[in-house]
Amino acid sequence: MKTRFLLIAILTSFLLMSPSSFALGKLGHQLVCQLAFEHLIASKQEKLNRLLALIPVKHQDLINHYNYKKQGSTISFASACTWADAIKRVEEFKKYSRWHYINVPRNRTNIEPNACHKDCLPQAILRHQQQLSQNAGKTTWQQTQALLFLGHWLGDIHQPLHVSFASDLGGNQVELSHLATKCSNLHWYWDDCILYKGKQSKSKWRQLLTAQWQQDSTPNWQAKQVWQWADESFQLVKAPSFQYCQLDSQINNQGSCQALEQKVNLPDDYMQQYQPVMAQRLLLAAQRLTKVLTASL
């Protein structure tokens, strides 16, 4: 009982922190993993469900509390994909905190395989995909962890500001100057507020992404793809309209990205312009996760 209260206390302290700390919002991760699961063939869904069944009770409790669900609620793949955020304050898993993103110097113009060699988001995908596939016949809690991390990482790498600059902590220090949103900085805005579609946000996003699904257009999984995915996000944040940086060269969007010198005032049409971009990123994340899991389970 004491252990359970301790876990709840840890989780509560995490939830009271600003949500603007390198974490694609709950809704984003839930959408990516739910759609990916729905598009797996039945045999792969069964393997995945067998791994979900191995989640220890204390981690089920963490997942349910993090997702504001009642204790004992069934753990779906959608909710389980938030586990990597729910455990950030658990000592055993603090070593993974840097794996949620890749931050680079401002003079970098694209993301290539030499952008990082360990403890970063692309390498995290490679490590946990390899772990899941090399032990595909096993059903252990370690395999379940690889599955949950992998599902989470695919969401994170498609949130543009999870591939950005170290000098401002991936946009966490880029403050928004207006009060039209609860999100006080640009990273938080892209994790959470840009997903807002009213009280029925989840159902509206799910309907939209399901209608746009074209799984066959996504190539089968290859390890080199992680760097392409990271660079897609990186090129998005470099665009002047993204309101994250100012390029010192406008030629093919390849100049160095200089920090903005003042608080950002997002244009009135910013959400209208970038919600379709976020929809495309979530859709790609779900489609690509489907291919990764098909190759790994």
The CATH number linked to 108 is: 1.10.575.10
Exposed e or buried b per residue across 221-245, where buried means at least 16 C-beta atoms within 10 angstroms of its C-beta? beeebbbebbbbbbbbbbeeebbbb
Residue 242's nearest CA partner among 180, 177, 164, 167 is: 164
Q: Residue 216 has which token pair?
A: 């066959």
Cα–Cα dist 292/129, whole Å: 7
- The string of pLDDT tens digits covering residues 243-279 is 998 887 665 566 678 887 678 989 999 999 999 999 9
Distance from first CA to last CA of the chain, Å, rounded?
35
* Angle (CA) 20 23 27, round 5°: 105
- The string of pLDDT tens digits covering residues 178-212 is 766 789 999 999 999 999 988 788 999 999 999 99
For residue 215, what pLDDT is reported?
A: 74
Residues 151, 289 contacting (CB under 8 angstroms)? yes
Q: Is the pLDDT of residue 9 over 80?
A: no
Would you tell me how many other CB atoms lie within 10 Å of the CB of residue 10? 18
Domain count along the chain = 1
Full domain range(s) for residue 238: 2-296
- The string of pLDDT tens digits covering residues 75-94 is 999 999 999 999 999 999 99
Residue 154's nearest CA partner among 294, 7, 53, 14 is: 294
